[in-house]
Amino acid sequence: METKVQKRKLGKSGLEVSALGLGCMGMSFSYGPVPDKKEMISVLRSAVERGITFFDTAEVYGPFTNEELLGEALSPFRDKLVIATKFGFGTSGISSLDSRPEHIKQVAEASLKRLKTDVIDLFYQHRVDPNVPIEDVAGAVKDLIREGKVKHFGLSEAGVQMIRRAHAVQPVTALQSEYSLWWREPEAEVLPVLEELGIGFVPYSPLGKGFLTGKMNENTTFDKTDFRNSVPRLSPENRKANQVFVDLLAIIAQRKGATPAQIALAWLLAQKSWIVPIPGTTKLTRLEENIGATAVELTANDLLEINTASSKLKVQGDRYSAGSAKLINR
């Protein structure tokens, strides 16, 4: 039986999306050799057929090729979908930040062309730029919204002060940050502020970059071009230590007739009604498995068991290498 994907609203904005989105980065970038384009078009269109309406990309993925891929694959269904993309990196890619208002406007024009659309549903600042006041960033997106080129404004990996300051200029529809059973930092300060302001939350890496699926162990090797080689948390010795998280998910999964990945996603969906995870995949089988998570009902007792057990576990290893970490503003 195919799962019908429920809809969720991102905060008070009224932006309605499928309860699970699709993170598209890996289709063009960062997880080893770039997959075949025709296959990726097929996966994207299969996602639409199965009820996914929320697709996440960025100009920097590729760079540029990921937006082009989505433009080609999704334009026939464009009016039914919510496409999110991001600005904020300089022309040299992810080594430099650039959120100057004139640059934001140039990025918007280029993204619209690549996505083959006349409006960007959700436009995120990819990373906070310490050289540009967040009010100027929000003001630039406000202009784009007024011009009808953008519908909603989002932030990524922003701390609570930045969220408040941006929201005061142009209401923020969604914050996208890493959140999963083994990265729970947003719970302390960020989630309460989002709740207060009515902002939706879009967790990326909800499956711990693949680790929480239970499909990798200390002996797994990544392709030499796979960025996970540089993630301290995913070093072989840390994978061995962190296996306890997967074991915990596996116990619940067995009881529920589900997979560890489905429990990890169901756990996120159960936290708040305005949370919409965006697991990425390049495989139709994984897409179907992830969609299946929306049908998994975790009881209060299940959630208590997961929380109690996971609170005793300590994650080994940082989530990013020292070089990447400086691009994440706390």
Name the residue with tokens 């906070």.
128
Q: What is the dihedral of CA 32, 67, 283, 265, to 10 degrees?
A: 100
Q: Nearest to residue 270, comparing CAs of 303, 248, 307?
A: 303
- Note whether 212 and 260 are within 8 A (CB): yes
User: What fold, for 7-208+272-295?
Assistant: TIM Barrel (3.20.20)
Q: How does pLDDT run along the chain (330 residues), one tens digit per residue?
A: 567 899 999 999 999 999 999 999 999 988 889 999 999 999 999 999 999 999 999 999 999 999 999 999 999 999 999 999 999 999 887 779 999 999 999 999 999 999 999 999 999 999 999 999 999 999 999 999 999 999 999 999 999 999 999 999 999 999 999 999 999 999 999 999 999 999 999 999 999 999 999 999 999 999 999 999 999 999 999 999 999 999 999 999 999 999 999 999 999 999 999 999 999 999 999 999 999 999 999 999 999 999 999 999 999 999 988 766 555 543
Two structure tokens written together for 222: 């990544």
DSSP per residue, 202-231: EEESTTGGGGGGT---TT----TTBGGGG-
- The residues, any chain, with a CB within 8 Å of residue 282's CB and separated by 6 or more, are 26, 27, 31, 35, 39, 40, 43
- Spatial distance between the Cα atoms of 111 and 71, rounded to a whole number of angstroms: 9
3-class DSSP state for residue 121? strand
Hey, where are the domains in the chain?
7-208+272-295
- Note whether 238 and 316 are within 8 A (CB): yes
Q: How deeply is 314 buried, as exposed, middle or buried, from its count of CB atoms within 10 A (0-12, 13-18, 19+)?
A: exposed
Two structure tokens written together for 42: 């097929």
Note the pLDDT of residue 102: 98
Q: Where are the alpha helices (DSSP H) in the chain?
A: 37-49, 65-74, 101-114, 134-146, 160-169, 190-197, 236-256, 260-271, 284-292, 300-311, 322-325
Residue 16 CB neighbour total at 10 angstroms: 12
- Note whether 30 and 226 are within 8 A (CB): yes
Q: Verify whether residue 61 is a known catalytic residue.
A: yes
Provide the residue type at 202 as one letter: V
61, 124, 179, 204: the catalytic one is: 61
Q: CA 7 → CA 14, 54, 328, distances in Å? A: 11, 10, 30
- Note whether 281 and 290 are within 8 A (CB): yes
3-state helix, strand, coil split of the chain in percent (to 5) is 50, 15, 35
pTM over 0.75: yes
Note the pLDDT of residue 201: 98
Q: CA 179 → CA 114, 161, 315, distances in Å? A: 29, 19, 13
- Note whether 319 and 233 are within 8 A (CB): yes
